[in-house]
Structures are given as C-alpha cells and as structure tokens.
Amino acid sequence: MSDRREFLQSAGALGALAILKPETVRGSAANSAVRVGLLGCGNRGSTHAANITKYTDARILALGDLYQDRLDKARQRYPDASATFVGPKAYQQMAESKDVDAIVIATPAYFHPTHLAAVVAAGKHVYCEKPVAVDVAGTKRVLEIGKKAEGRLSLDVGFQIRSAPPFVELVKRIHEGALGNIVCGAAHYYCPLPNYAEFPGAAGQDLRIRRWLQDRVLSGDIIVEQNIHAIDICNWVLGAHPIRAIGTGGRNGRAAEGEDIYSHFDVVYYYPNGVHVSFSSTQFGKGQFDVSERFFGTKGLAQSPYSGALGITGDVPWTWAGSENQRAGEFSASGSFTDNLAEADAEKQKAFIGSIVSGHFHNQAAVGVETALTAMLGREAAYRGREVSWDELVKSNQHWDAGLKGVI
C-alpha cells in the first residue's frame, strides 16, 4: 500500500539493517552481558526488568526514577544496580552514565519523546514503552530521533504482541492469503476500572504525575495509552494506517476527582482499499477483561483474542494449539499476561537484547509513530465529534503542554 510505504520511507525506516562486528557493540568481548538501565521503576518497568534478567544474559545495573520510594523498591529487587538516579534529571544522568549500554524507558507517556531523545543522543540502545508520544508534535520528534539512531543503535518500541508466537503465526497466514481479500474488521478493548494505587501525602503536581494514567495529557487518554495494542494489530494485519476516522466517546462511568480521561471510545477507521475497522473500548466499572480483533475476508475469518480460541475459520482453517481451551483472561496492571500472550514479553526482550549483541540493530521508531498517530486519529475524531483525516491530523502539529514545572 503506497501511502504506508511513503510514510515509512520518510521516517528512514526501510534502509538495510546495519551489521556490525559483535565486539563493536559496547567496545568489549561479544559475550559480555549487556548492561541495562531501567528508567521508570513502576509496574511496567519492573516487568521489563524481570523479563530481561530471566530470559537474557543482560544485567540490570542502573535504576532511575523521579521518586525515591519507587527507586528504593527497585533497589531491593536489583541489588547489583550500583548506579542509581533520582529526581527530574535522572533521565539525563542515566543517559550519560558509562555504566549502561541500553536503557528501558518506562516513564509516563508524556515524557517519552524527551527521554528518548536524551538516550539516543548519548549513544545508548533503547527500549521505549508505548505510546512513543501523546501528541502529533511528539511523534514528529520521535521520527527525527529514529533517524539519528538508524544503523548505529537499536530502538525498540513496546508492541510486544508482535512477538507473541500465536499472533505472529496468525498474521503470517493472513498475509499469505488465508482470508482472501479482507473486507472489514472489528476490534475491541474492554477493561474494568484498574485498581489504581493510592499515594497518601502526595498533592498538586506530584499527585498528578503519580496518577498519570488518569490524566489525559500525561497518558494520551485510554485509546492512546492502553487501547493502542489492539489498534497496532489492526495496522499490522492490514499493512497500512487508516486514511480517516469518525468516532465518539465520553466520560460516563468515571467520576474520580482529578481525572479527565474518557471511559469509552467508539471509532470507525477507514483503511485503504475500502476496508473499514470498527473499534470500541471501555475502561470503567467491574466488567470482564476482554481484548480481541476480527478480520473478515472473502475466504475466511480470523480472530485474535488475548485469551481464547485464536485462529482462522474458512477455506484454510487453523487454530493455535490449546487456545480453544483457554478461559477468559484478567487485566494486568503490569502488562504481563498468560494465555495467547504468555510468551510475548519474553520474546520481545530476547529480540531486543539479541539485536544489540548481534549488531543487527532494530529501528521501530516509524512503526511506533504510525500506530500512535492511528490511536490519536481515533481520539481526535471522538473528541471533535466529526470525521478527521490522517492528513488533517498530521498537518495539525498538535502539541499538548502539561504545564509541569521543574520536571523536564
């Protein structure tokens, strides 16, 4: 699809991967463990660190966070982390540290472009959690950062579902023609209200940052921060981004003081070749956690739930072995799931560390931007209550200012 190819080419994402001698990766023997710094010691960051140490030879040797209590908890889990950084400048100090080769960014989404820029400028490999940005201006900045990393650093983005074996096999079969011509799709991300942590004694800006998942500007809203995983699968399957979207949504069902994010979205994405995908999401109440995508083609139907039967029905039927016997999944605040996503994090982290050791560097900046913009397209269509085109969104250069002081 030509529009997507042009988009990726503009991001410098289609060049051949650089292949360096292993000993050039960090100026030492090829079998030396990659030294990793964890920037952001909350739930998701801790999960990344655990998977890196469990499934690779890499070591967590540096920790950084805005808050001392978070850092102290992480130090209990990783006593070998001799380098620690705390406060507003932690990200810069870690980026400049000679004790790390790679950094995992698991900070609030609003800070991702700034933190990513510092890490790449310092010449460190980086794994950045999704979304790469919360606004259009941030995505454009990330594209430029990606160009600076190209061929010399690995820059991975946290779309671990693209590494989950059941999903990899499903998408491979779809791309080989198992569905015939895809006509339409439907995806959903239904989540009960998460059990947010309490922060006694915190107030003002400090409380806002600690509760960033409940803040529209700091998180990008639920469609950009959480639902983005399902939206990414849609782009992956269709090999394109949508050209326009129309949507609605609202805050009914969520009334917590100090939060302004939506409780639900309903969006129709229009992709090239007349393909449309209906997407819906919820994040309130006490309902069942349920995430899935379906694609309807001239030869069959594909379905890809987090938990439950994953496969294809039609002319070329196939089911991921054992998935048909799975029960409904449960929401995980850390992003660690079982069932069809059981191997997602492990495979993703193995691939990231492996790319550094081998010198076959990744550059996922363009994909991270494309999916973030797709989620923003749905968000803006819902906010404005009208159709919004891809070109309109990108040309807007939308910039969100959180109004924070002394943090970045």
Q: For residue 69, what is the enclosing H or E element?
A: helix 68-77
pLDDT given for residue 257 in this prediction: 82
Whole-number Å distance between alpha carbons of 205 and 66: 12
Contacts by 18-23, CB closer than 8 A, 24 or more apart:
18/150, 18/151, 18/152, 18/359, 18/360, 18/361, 19/359, 19/360, 20/359, 20/361, 21/359, 22/357, 22/358, 22/359
pLDDT given for residue 128 in this prediction: 98
DSSP states along 232-284: HHHHHHHTS--SEEEEEEE-TT---TT----SEEEEEEE-GGG-EEEEEEEE-
pLDDT given for residue 16 in this prediction: 32
**Domains present along the chain, CATH in parentheses:** 2-161 (3.40.50.720), 162-350+372-396 (3.30.360.10)
Whole-number Å distance between alpha carbons of 293 and 310: 10
pLDDT given for residue 330 in this prediction: 66
10-residue mean pLDDT profile of the chain (408 residues): values are 48 36 39 90 94 96 97 93 96 97 98 98 98 98 98 98 98 98 98 91 94 97 98 98 98 90 98 98 94 98 97 98 80 66 96 98 98 98 98 97 92
pLDDT given for residue 28 in this prediction: 38
pLDDT given for residue 329 in this prediction: 64
- Helices 365-384 & 2-10 angle (0-180, nearest 10): 120
Whole-number Å distance between alpha carbons of 330 and 333: 10
> Does residue 104 contact residue 78 with C-beta atoms inside 8 Å?
no
Secondary structure of residue 286 in the 3-state scheme:
coil
- Helices 365-384 & 228-238 angle (0-180, nearest 10): 120
* Amino acid at site 195: N
- Helices 136-149 & 112-121 angle (0-180, nearest 10): 20
Strands (E) in 129-198, as ranges, are 155-157, 182-191
pTM more than 0.75: yes
Secondary structure of residue 185 in the 3-state scheme:
strand
